[in-house]
Amino acid sequence: MRVIVAVTGASGALYAQRLLHILAQHEKVAEIAFVMSEQGRMLFAHELGVNLSHHNPDLAALGIDPAKVRPFHPKDLTAPPASGSARYDGMVIVPCSTHTLAKVAGGFADDLIGRAAQVMLKERRKLVLVTRETPLSLITLRNMVTVTEAGAVIVDANPGFYTLPRTVQDLVDFVVQRVCDQLGLEVSLLPRWELPQKDDLWRRA
């Protein structure tokens, strides 16, 4: 599998870091095309304290094996992700800013992230947008409907608590596991939901 991972300026660098780490280790993933918007690059610096270049990002500083990762500049519209003939299997924008969501909904392809997203939609391939914004304006909600109708999947960065998370990592893993589910990749970062026995429910109450 060949996957595009794009990072934009919404808060949530931990989601991108963890997803890249998991994809880089997964046996079914052969290549990761990695693109950061300028705001995404600033996000890594602000939230994780790591300054990454567009052309040669030091992913090892984030604990990510770079062997499968091909970085691309966000302004390079000649890069493989800009063409459907490159046949990437899916794309994840994580985190996905409302600005990027609006561009995807409007069909704008003025940078590599926007163009790659449009390619995924026109080729009927998996496009996952990990939005992270609250509260949501009516405009944003309508943009979510538009991209969903076009074939994208919104995976809101909204972790569940039925797994009884104990750490921030657990909360991040909940979202990342759902993203991997959408890509068709089997991962076991957290226990899957099983209906508790009544005695267990009473004990928790």
Q: Is 137 annotated to bind ligand?
A: no
Q: Is 10 annotated to bind ligand?
A: yes
- For the segment 178-199, the average pLDDT, to the nearest whole number, is 86
Domain with 46 in it: what CATH number? 3.40.50.1950
**How confident is residue 70, by pLDDT bands cut at 50, 70 and 90?**
very high
Q: Are 65 and 25 in contact (CB under 8 A)?
A: yes
pLDDT of 200 strictly over 60? no
Gap between the Cα atoms of 37 and 6, Å rounded: 8
- For the segment 89-107, the average pLDDT, to the nearest whole number, is 98
Q: Is 148 annotated to bind ligand?
A: no
Q: Is 131 annotated to bind ligand?
A: no
Task: Report the pLDDT value the prediction gives residue 204, as an integer from 0 to 100.
Answer: 53
Bigger pLDDT: 152 vs 200? 152
Q: Is 163 annotated to bind ligand?
A: no
- For the segment 155-173, the average pLDDT, to the nearest whole number, is 95
Total domain count, the chain? 1
Which domain covers residue 149, as residue numbers?
2-204
What is the DSSP secondary-structure string of the chain?
Answer: -EEEEEE-SSS-HHHHHHHHHHHHH-TT--EEEEEE-HHHHHHIIIII-----SSS--GGGGT--GGGEEEE-TT-TTSGGG-GGG---EEEEEEE-HHHHHHHHHT--SSHHHHHHHHHHHTT-EEEEEE--SS--HHHHHHHHHHHHHT-EE--S---STT---SHHHHHHHHHHHHHHHHT----SSPPP-PPPHHHHHHH-
pLDDT digits (tens, 9 = 90+) for 28-56: 999 999 999 999 999 999 999 999 999 99
Q: Is 98 annotated to bind ligand?
A: yes
pLDDT of 62 strictly over 90? yes
* Arithmetic mean of pLDDT over the chain: 94
Task: Report the pLDDT value the prediction gives residue 202, as an integer from 0 to 100.
Answer: 47
Q: Are 21 and 94 in contact (CB under 8 A)?
A: no
Q: Is 54 annotated to bind ligand?
A: no
Task: Report the pLDDT value the prediction gives residue 174, as an integer from 0 to 100.
Answer: 97
Q: Is 11 annotated to bind ligand?
A: yes
Task: Report the pLDDT value the prediction gives residue 192, as an integer from 0 to 100.
Answer: 87
Q: Is 132 annotated to bind ligand?
A: yes
Q: Is 97 annotated to bind ligand?
A: yes
